[in-house]
């Protein structure tokens, strides 16, 4: 594992991106915060705790999925991936660095939601630790999906529409801003193909907002492994001989 490369990429594409282009962070927060406001107004504050917890899940998921655009741009336009292949950097280094950079990029948004959660007295030591694990695993899974998407297209112009559609599907359809028990059980398992669904269900259970669903733990673990292995294939990395 090339820790120097991973740390450098996380710094440049995580922290430096926030400094150079804060508008990207604002744009990524715009949709979940808007939906939070609408949920607060329409439910007269009844579902606001669900919207805060789920909004954080939706935000993390959208940040991970947005990596598809960068990964495709690096591979197709800048040919940066070919440069890395010719060095001592391996595919796992590249994927870990990419994932870590998006996790770092999400920190200001996490702080904002943490502030909102504090106002509504949502946090205990147990659910904070549980939420940290969920967020880390969600970034890993959604970034893996980003690699799958970016590795399966041949032209850069196709990526923007795909990621926009996926971001909406993974943010609105899953029970991120409302209780998961509003969704018919059969449909809940169908939309669990999106990792934000088991993440949101588990978060609601951990925060005591809804009954804990142990089945979603297994689904989430399977998705982490499956999407990560699939991403390793689609990254199309040819190690130098």
When pLDDT is cut at 50, 70 and 90, the band that residue 152 belongs to is: confident
Task: Give the pLDDT of residue 241.
Answer: 41
List, for residues 43-55, the tens digit of each pLDDT value.
Answer: 888 889 998 998 8
Q: pTM above 0.75?
A: yes
Token pair, residue 12, equals 């440049």
Half-sphere exposure of 79 (CA within 13 A, CB side): 3
Q: What is the chain's alpha carbon radius of gyration, rounded to the nearest angstrom?
A: 18
Task: Give the pLDDT of residue 240.
Answer: 45
Q: How many CB atoms lie within 10 A of CB 169?
A: 15
Q: How far apart are CA 50 and CA 176, in angstroms?
A: 7
Give the burial class of 121: count Cβ atoms within 10 A of its Cβ; 0-12 exposed, 13-18 middle, 19 or more buried. Answer: exposed
Torsion-angle region of residue 57: left (phi > 0), alpha (psi -120 to 50) or beta?
alpha
Backbone angles phi and psi of 235, in degrees to 5 = -70, -15
List, for residues 13-60, the tens digit of each pLDDT value.
Answer: 778 777 877 777 787 788 788 888 888 888 888 889 998 998 889 888
List, for residues 181-234, the tens digit of each pLDDT value.
Answer: 998 988 998 989 889 999 999 999 999 999 999 999 999 999 999 998 888 887
């Amino acid at each position: 594992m090339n820790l120097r490369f991973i740390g450098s990429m996380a710094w440049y594409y995580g922290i430096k991106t926030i400094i150079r282009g804060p508008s990207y962070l604002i744009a990524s927060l715009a949709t979940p915060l808007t939906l939070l406001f609408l949920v607060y107004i329409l439910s007269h504050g009844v579902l606001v705790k669900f919207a805060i917890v789920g909004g954080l899940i939706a935000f993390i998921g959208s940040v991970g999925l947005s990596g598809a655009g960068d990964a495709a741009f690096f591979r197709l336009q800048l040919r940066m991936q070919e440069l890395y292949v010719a060095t001592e950097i391996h595919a796992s280094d590249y994927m870990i660095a990419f994932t870590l950079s998006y996790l770092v990029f999400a920190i200001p948004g996490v702080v904002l939601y943490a502030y909102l959660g504090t106002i509504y007295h949502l946090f205990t030591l147990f659910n904070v630790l549980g939420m940290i694990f969920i967020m880390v695993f969600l970034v890993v899974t959604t970034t893996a999906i980003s690699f799958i998407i970016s590795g399966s297209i041949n032209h850069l112009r196709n990526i923007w529409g795909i990621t926009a559609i996926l971001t909406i599907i993974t943010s609105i359809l899953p029970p991120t801003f409302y209780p998961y028990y509003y969704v018919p059980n059969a449909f809940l398992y169908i939309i669990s193909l999106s990792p934000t669904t088991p993440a949101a269900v588990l978060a609601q259970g951990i925060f005591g907002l809804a009954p804990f669903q142990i089945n979603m733990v297994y689904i989430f673990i399977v998705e982490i492994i499956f999407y990560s292995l699939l991403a390793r294939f689609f990254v199309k990395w040819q190690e130098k001989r």
